[in-house]
Amino acid sequence: MKLFIYVICGVLAIGASAVRGSATEAFTAADLVSLKRISDPQVSPDGRRVAFVLRETDLDANRGRTQLWVVDIAGGEPRQLTRGDASASSPRWSSDGRSLFFLTARSGSSQVWQLPLAGGEARQVTDLPVEIGTLKIAPDGGRIAFTATVFPDCPTLACTAERLAVLAADKATGQRYDQLFIRHWDSWEDGQLSTLFTAPIGIDGRADEPVNISGAARGHLPSRPFGGDEEYAFSRDGTRLAFSVRLADREEAWSTNFDLWEAPADGSRAPVNLTAGNPASDTQPVYLANGDLAWLAMTRPGFEADRFHVRLRDGRTGAIRVLTDAWDRSVTRLGASTDSQWLLANTDDIGQMPLFEIDPKSGAVRRVTGEGQVAEYAAAPGGAVVALTSIGAPADLWFAPRSGKPARQLTDVNGELLAARSLGAYEQFSFKGWNDELVYGYVIRPPGLASGRKAPIAFVVHGGPQVSLQNQWSYRWNAQVLAGQGYGVVMIDYHGSPGYGQAFTDSISKDWGGKPLVDLQKGLAAAVERYDWLDGERACALGPSYGGFMMNWIAGNWPDRFRCLVNHAGIFDSRSMYYTTEELWFEEWEHGGPYYLDPSIYEKNNPANFLANWKTPMLVTHGELDYRVPFGQGLAAFTFLQRRGIPSRLLYFRDENHWILKPANSLQWHDAVFDWLATWLK
């Protein structure tokens, strides 16, 4: 890929990227759900191999299955390690590199197993009465750390299993709650907490009796719904564990106060809170070779999109210092080099997500990778193995050297399918948005669009709102699938998106309908002016979550621009949203506090206050298990549209959450969206 800059018609085009494949057959939604997905790369102790998880879709079973694979970093074909109907995940190398620990439910529940790589069958390491969620191995290989969901007042794991059996047999189904956070994302709370345990490995290779490490730090570890084993870490000598927890107390529903705790790995002493002085989020601990502890920290309580910067705690004195205060980026994932002398971090950066190296002494930052999204990474001698994606390709593993030499591809798991498909070329551009500030976006040209022809526009508005529609591959709002249907795709990183400085991210708060709408209006106009193959007269807008809010907002505040709208899980009424969602910290930060104290910001940005202007045809899609934006928001929008006589349709999923995840449901959702777009654009 080449980076070039030129100015035409006052619009700055940042870079055009060709994509693989010269076939004439377009990329489809069926192709999207069938793609193999790489995740969780783990480099062997000798640095010669990388184990990873590969997900394949079983359309007949309507689910994905994961298995473990390994590939030599020096080159060669990947080799499959596990097989069978039961999925395998979380590959973790033994300290000698001769075997892999992993999680699988082949025994009936998720337990730890160990696979010798020289040959032979995997053997079961744990046989616990509860399921194991995440896994890590101590540096010397003598102990495992894992998380499991238990009742916090139960003294043993068996107690949790027995209590669950009693509850399952009870014919009464009522659940009593005395504090908020009664449900989260797509599940109801039942009194259990995901808790950190350790267990030594005996001479027979089996885990001994586990010990609860969390102690009085009672809260979900990993954090729900998206946390993982990056939230806890062994010290270099394996004697201590650091972990991040937000207490599951009365304030949990409106708190972002995750603290970093440290405890002996054998559970001999209670954990100590290392960050009690910071009322905002502290997470992702990483021990360095000299004993110092690094982690990610925010500074503003209640703001989930605050800048994650790096802090260091001196291993001898306990003194804490801020390391990356001058770097105006919010780190996504913190790690360390194989010798733990350097820190690694990926972060949003001007529409990309590169990997960076950080000097733990000076805080100096150096970029390691180029264009695209480093979705995951694992340190390797002389560099890192990265799972690299772009708008033009799903994730594959690459070796990115520290030397600055070009990255080298290690896997090509979807090569055969992608070679048979024609994908759309994409380009980043910029323009003057709100207050004439620089804003960035992407356009994707439909493959096979003849010279002189114009393509109707699919104008995609991202959710979050503090996320980026960057140079990445998506499995839910995929630009190539839309381009394959013949649409020119336009995506804008409006004010509020990360990767452009924290002030840019902050600017959306309390102004959901202001700056972002101006950016969208100016961005679409700039794209139509710049790219003569876009048909500005035929455009539909689509968006999920905040993007769905924006569809409702556009309906009332920009009603004459689009021929149709697609609203997935969008907020319709800000007042009812506040009283029915689960993460109150988000609503209260974004709108200036609780609704009952000051409803003015909520009502200023409330789509329900502009219903008199609605007239644009709208498709509404929503999942019943969506507790982030409850289904009533989508139902309310559809009710109004129908009662007002505006062309509209509702697609409802009883078994989906904020996202549409099941393969068959994803295909149905895509078919509905394509049908809606074609009705109004073709």
- Buried-exposed string 579-599: b where 16+ CB fall within 10 A, e elsewhere: eebbbbbbbbbbbbeebeeeb
Q: Which two tokens stand for residue 472?
A: 């990445």
18 — pLDDT class (breaks 50, 70, 90)? low
Burial (0-12, 13-18, 19+ Cβ within 10 Å), 678: middle
pLDDT of residue 214: 96
Torsion of CA 231, 236, 237, 242, to 10 degrees: -20
Query: Stretch 227-239: mean pLDDT, rounded?
Result: 97
Query: Stretch 533-537: mean pLDDT, rounded?
Result: 98
22 — pLDDT class (breaks 50, 70, 90)? low
The answer, yes or no, to whether residue 658 has pLDDT greater than 60, is yes
The answer, yes or no, to whether residue 10 has pLDDT greater than 80, is no
The answer, yes or no, to whether residue 8 has pLDDT greater than 50, is no
Residues 6+ apart with CB under 8 A from 45: 93, 95, 96, 97
DSSP designation for 582: S
Half-sphere exposure of 188 (CA within 13 A, CB side): 6
* Alpha helices, DSSP H, located in 486-545: 502-506, 515-530
682 — pLDDT class (breaks 50, 70, 90)? confident
Contact 543, 551 (CB under 8 A): yes
pLDDT of residue 404: 82
482 — pLDDT class (breaks 50, 70, 90)? very high
pLDDT of residue 438: 98
pLDDT of residue 16: 58
pLDDT of residue 653: 98
Burial (0-12, 13-18, 19+ Cβ within 10 Å), 437: middle
Contact 682, 493 (CB under 8 A): no
For 538-572, what is each residue's pLDDT tens digit?
999 999 999 999 999 999 999 999 999 999 999 99
**Which has the closest alpha carbon to 659: 632, 629, 680?**
629
For 181-204, what is each residue's pLDDT tens digit?
999 999 999 999 999 999 999 999
Contact 439, 433 (CB under 8 A): yes
Mean pLDDT, all residues of the chain:
95
9 — pLDDT class (breaks 50, 70, 90)? very low
User: Under DSSP, is residue 591 helix (H, G, I), strand (E, B) or coil?
Assistant: coil
For 32-44, what is each residue's pLDDT tens digit?
999 999 999 999 9
The answer, yes or no, to whether residue 334 has pLDDT greater than 90, is yes
CA angle in degrees (0–180, nearest 5) for 46-51-52: 150
Contact 207, 605 (CB under 8 A): no
Backbone angles phi, psi at 193, to 5 degrees: -130, 140
pLDDT of residue 3: 30
Query: Stretch 433-460: mean pLDDT, rounded?
Result: 97
Query: Stretch 298-304: mean pLDDT, rounded?
Result: 98
pLDDT of residue 19: 63
Query: Stretch 647-673: mean pLDDT, rounded?
Result: 98
User: For the CA atoms of the chain, what is the radius of gyration?
Assistant: 25
DSSP designation for 201: B
23 — pLDDT class (breaks 50, 70, 90)? confident
The answer, yes or no, to whether residue 1 has pLDDT greater than 60, is no
Measured distance CA(526)–CA(24) in Å, rounded: 30
5 — pLDDT class (breaks 50, 70, 90)? very low
The answer, yes or no, to whether residue 21 has pLDDT greater than 70, is no
CA angle in degrees (0–180, nearest 5) for 40-264-123: 45
pLDDT of residue 403: 86
Contact 358, 348 (CB under 8 A): no
End-to-end CA distance of the chain: 34
pLDDT of residue 15: 53
Query: Stretch 16-31: mean pLDDT, rounded?
Result: 77
Return the bridge partners of 653, or none: 623
DSSP 594-660: -TTT--HHHHHT-GGGGGGG--S-EEEEEETT-TTTTHHHHHHHHHHHHHHT--EEEEEETT--SS-
Measured over the CA atoms of residue 160, residue 166, residue 167 and residue 169, the dihedral's sign is positive
For 383-410, what is each residue's pLDDT tens digit?
999 999 999 999 999 999 998 889 999 9
Q: How many CB atoms lie within 10 A of CB 606?
A: 24
pLDDT of residue 323: 97
Query: Stretch 411-434: mean pLDDT, rounded?
Result: 97
Query: Stretch 263-273: mean pLDDT, rounded?
Result: 97
Burial (0-12, 13-18, 19+ Cβ within 10 Å), 77: exposed
2 — pLDDT class (breaks 50, 70, 90)? very low
Return the bridge partners of 298, or none: none
Q: Which two tokens stand for residue 671?
A: 């078919």
For 589-616, what is each residue's pLDDT tens digit?
999 999 999 999 999 999 999 999 999 9
Burial (0-12, 13-18, 19+ Cβ within 10 Å), 557: middle
In order of their start, the domains of the chain are: 6-12+418-681 (3.40.50.1820)
DSSP 473-486: --SSS-HHHHHHTT
User: How long, in residues, is the chain?
Assistant: 682
Measured distance CA(603)–CA(121) in Å, rounded: 62
H or E element that contains 113: strand 111-116
